[in-house]
Each structure stands twice: as C-alpha cells, then as structure tokens.
Structure 1
Amino acid sequence: MKNLEGKVAVVTGGNSGIGYAAAKELKAQGAQVIITGRRQEAVETAAQQLGVTGLVADQGNVQAIEQLAATVGEQYGKVDILFINAGIVGGASIETATEDVFDQVININYKGAYFTLSKFIPLLNDGASVVFLSSNTASMHGANASVYSSSKAALNSVMKAAAIELAPRKIRVNSVSPGPTQTEILNKLGLDEEARKNLDTWMLERVPLKQLGEADDVAKMVAYFSSDAAKFITGAEIVMDGGMSL
C-alpha cells in the first residue's frame, strides 16, 4: 500500500540494519527517502541498492548535522518523516568505563540524536512524524550496559518533551524500542562463532516468544508511526522485544 505517497523521509544510519530496513519499507509505501551514514562507500552502496538518495553525515558531529539539514533543505525543501536511527553499542562496567567510550556512545546515541531533531525542526512540515530508535534496555538495568542504556533512556525523555513542544504544529514524536534484533550490529561485537552462538542462546532464554526480532518488523512500526493511521499517537514508546522486558 502507498500510505506514504508524496512524503519526504530522512533516515539516519540508513545504510544497514534497522535503518536500511526502514528506508526500504518507507520507499515501498511511497515515500521519497534520503538515507545518511558516516561511511561514504557504505552509504553509496545502500542508496544504490535501495534506489534512494544517500548523504554522508556523522551523527556524532553537530556541524555535520547542521550541514546535513542545510543540504536536505536546499534539495528537498520540507521533510515529512524523520527517523533518527543512527547509533552505536558500547559496554563496560561502571568501574571500568573509560571517558572515551562514554563520550563516543553519548555523542552519537544521545547528543547526536538530540541535535538531529533540533536542526531538522525548521524543515519539518506541520503534521510530520518523528521517530527515535531507542532500545528496551532504556527501561532494563543490566550489568555492563550503563552507558548505552542511559543514552537510550535520555532519548526517550527527549522524545516526550519534543512531543509536547511540537504538538501545536501537529508534529508527532514517538520512539520504537527493540529488543535483541538480528542485524549487522551484533556481528560488530567482535565475538567468535562460539561466543556469538552463546550470546544468541542467552538472549533467546530471556525472550518469552523464543525468537529474536527482525529488522523488517521494526521498519513496519516506523512506517506505521509515519502514517495517518497513527495521527493521534504522540509521546509513545513501543517496546518490541518479544516480552523480554516483562
């Protein structure tokens, strides 16, 4: 169905994983899609595969975000859908956490997402939809995840404040919080085959539905939030984790 016909959508971190799946789904529903990412080759490859526009931008750099917003404004005018998806993982105990790891995770996951919204607000059409990619860990409290979890909890707080601030313009702001999801990010943890298998087993034992999430499922929720079917939903967090956080 072409529920998003004529809409302009920006997907940060759209060259892989959930961002890639979301860009594909938004385009399939009729939107004109722009994806962003830090690595030029990856962005260009994904953009070609998807048949969308690719722009290189580092969400961890506010100047790069400002330039991205300026470029999108010049080339497309207004934006109807903003999926703030770019993010990284980073784990350590509170005792052993380094300032470098803390700054890297917070700069991209929280500060970068915050200023992506900030710089794109002038480009958003009245009635636009903003979706943050959060995580079920925002409301879970596991060991060695304090930096990542707090970055996502902060994101949900900003989402709710933004929903209030932008409500006069009928701009809706929501977040999707997946649990364990089969994406390339799990392969970037540096685990060998046995360790990765053990990780999957550990996660499955904690998910009542006994399966890992799929990027396509999250993509469909992003598209739903972006459509008129969700026109009365704002300030909402949808947790998609198979019951893991129950």
Structure 2
Amino acid sequence: MKLQNKTALITGGTSGIGLATAQDFIKEGAKVIITGRDETTLNEAVQQLGENASGIVCDAGNMQDILALPGKITSLDILFCNAGYGKFAPIEAVTTQQFDELFDVLVKGVFFTTQALLPLMKEGGAIIFNTSVVTLYGSPYASIYSAAKSAVASFIKTFATECTTRGIRVNGVSPGYTESKGFEKTGLSAEQIEGVKQSVIPTLPFKRFGKAMEIAKAVSFLASDDASYLHATELVVDGGYSTIK
C-alpha cells in the first residue's frame, strides 16, 4: 500500500495507460480522480474502478475545462498528466488544424493543467508527465507528435527547478510501443494499424508491445516514496527498444 492516504488525479484516465494507472494507484491505497472528455465513457471507467475512484469531465485541450478543475478538487498528492494521443502524417500533409490539435492537448493542456492544480499540490507530492520514446530518435510521419512530446519532456526539467522549493518531485514516464486504444485516434484505418503493428513487432527486443499495466507500475513507482530521490528524471519504459538495435 505504497500510496495509502494519497489523493491522485490522472488526466485521460478512461482507457489505456491512464486507466491501468488508476487501477494500480487504487490497489496501492490511493483515492483517484480521473478525467475524460466523454461523460459516458468516464462514468463507465469510474464504475469499473470502484468506490475509491471519481471522475471529472474535462477535455485536456479545452482551456475552459482545465481552468474549472481547481474548483472541483480540494487537494492533491499526485498529478499524472497522461491525456493525449498521436496523429501521424508526412510533412507535406500536416495541416494547421492537426498541428494545433496536438499542441493544444499535449503541450498547452499539460502546461495549464499543471499550472491550475499546482496550488493544490501538497508538500511531498509528485507530478508525473507522460512523454514518449519517439523523442529519442527520428521517426517518419511523427514530426508534430514528436515535437509536442519533446516539449513535455522539457517541462520535466523546467517544472522540477521551480517545484523543488515546494517539496514536490517532478518526473516523467516515457513509454515505447504500448497496447492501447490510442491507436484508434491516430487517423489510421484498422488495416493500417494492424500493418504498423506487424511491421514494428519484429523490431522490438521482446517481440511484443508493452502492456498498459507495465507502464502503470512505473508511474506508481514514481508517485511513491520509493522514488523519493528521483527528481527531473525521465524513466524510459520501452523494453529496450530505443537502446537495443
């Protein structure tokens, strides 16, 4: 029960890594608040998580929703900025709408969610950002997604410098290829998604995608006192993909 008597907020907590992290936080003794854009999906996730979970409808790319968050929360020990997804296209095909959409959710949303909730964070608390190993190498069709996630990786360092005096640790988890419903938001067809998976899996050291719970366990570690001397660190959880070639 490493998170006993802790209160955590997880953005984008209705599926994938966010939902798995909520499950593990609760298992470790925390009370968890999750956010999601769709009220029906949010309510279903809260029901699945049980009595130690609650939900707030919040679009991570909508400033009005973000600015309303502090009025719905009393205090926090843990903030996991997880909400987000990727959309991929060659340079020539990227539109200003796609650019703004990803940066609004992945960069602007992360920054202002943290800004809004920082006054509610307790001393000894932990902020965790979800980044991506895509920032560690060049990947075709991922120019905008990679740039947005690189900005989040930068937040880990810059936020840490300001939160040190508050006694709040700031770290990030950097997942590799992970089984998630997030693939459905990429704009690719089911056939294209399956094609990507079949082409990628042989290049992975363990010949499989990571599981959402495997990423969640790393987030729980960063949120707990077991990581009390980890600060301004990005923990890569990719099965060695970004290092072993």
TM-score in terms of structure 2 length: 0.95
Aligned residue identity for 2:46: A
1:63 corresponding residue in structure 2: 64
1:244 corresponding residue in structure 2: 241
Aligned residue identity for 1:55: I
- Counterpart of 1:95 in 2: which secondary structure? helix
1:220 corresponding residue in structure 2: 217
| Selected match of 2:169 from 169, 172, 176 | 172
Shift in CA distance, 93/193, structure 1 to aligned 2, threshold 3 Å: closer
Q: Say which is worse superposed, 60-69 or 119-128, in terms of deviation.
A: 60-69
In structure 2, stretches of 5+ residues that fail to align are: none
Structure 1: distance between partners of 2:94 and 2:193: 23
Q: Say which is worse superposed, 226-235 or 204-213, in terms of deviation.
A: 204-213
Structure 2: distance between partners of 1:68 and 1:25: 23
Provide Cα deviations, 1:90-127, integer angstroms capped at 9, x if missing partner.
11222221000000000001110011111111000011
* 8 Å contact from structure 2 (residues 87, 187) kept in 1: no
1:46 corresponding residue in structure 2: 45
| Selected match of 2:88 from 87, 91, 107 | 91
In structure 1, stretches of 5+ residues that fail to align are: none
CA deviation after TM superposition for structure 1 residue 147, in Å: 0.4
1:28 corresponding residue in structure 2: 27
| Selected match of 2:145 from 134, 145, 148 | 148
CA deviation after TM superposition for structure 1 residue 209, in Å: 2.1
* 8 Å contact from structure 2 (residues 201, 208) kept in 1: yes
Structure 1: distance between partners of 2:166 and 2:69: 23
Shift in CA distance, 162/192, structure 1 to aligned 2, threshold 3 Å: closer
CA deviation after TM superposition for structure 1 residue 22, in Å: 0.4
CA deviation after TM superposition for structure 1 residue 89, in Å: 1.0
Provide Cα deviations, 1:22-53, integer angstroms capped at 9, x if missing partner.
00000110001000011111101101110110
* 8 Å contact from structure 1 (residues 177, 238) kept in 2: yes
Structure 1: distance between partners of 2:175 and 2:109: 20
Aligned residue identity for 2:67: E
CA deviation after TM superposition for structure 1 residue 191, in Å: 4.7
CA deviation after TM superposition for structure 1 residue 192, in Å: 5.0
CA deviation after TM superposition for structure 1 residue 241, in Å: 1.2
Shift in CA distance, 193/65, structure 1 to aligned 2, threshold 3 Å: closer
Aligned residues: 241
CA root-mean-square deviation: 1.2
CA deviation after TM superposition for structure 1 residue 187, in Å: 3.5
1:17 corresponding residue in structure 2: 16
1:5 corresponding residue in structure 2: 4
Structure 2: distance between partners of 1:119 and 1:86: 16
State yes or no: 1:229 paired with 2:226. yes
* 8 Å contact from structure 1 (residues 36, 57) kept in 2: yes
| Selected match of 1:206 from 199, 203, 207 | 203
CA deviation after TM superposition for structure 1 residue 156, in Å: 0.6
- Counterpart of 1:181 in 2: which secondary structure? coil
TM-score in terms of structure 1 length: 0.94
Aligned residue identity for 1:203: V
Structure 2: distance between partners of 1:133 and 1:168: 23
* 8 Å contact from structure 1 (residues 140, 149) kept in 2: no
Percent of counterpart pairs with the same letter? Answer: 39
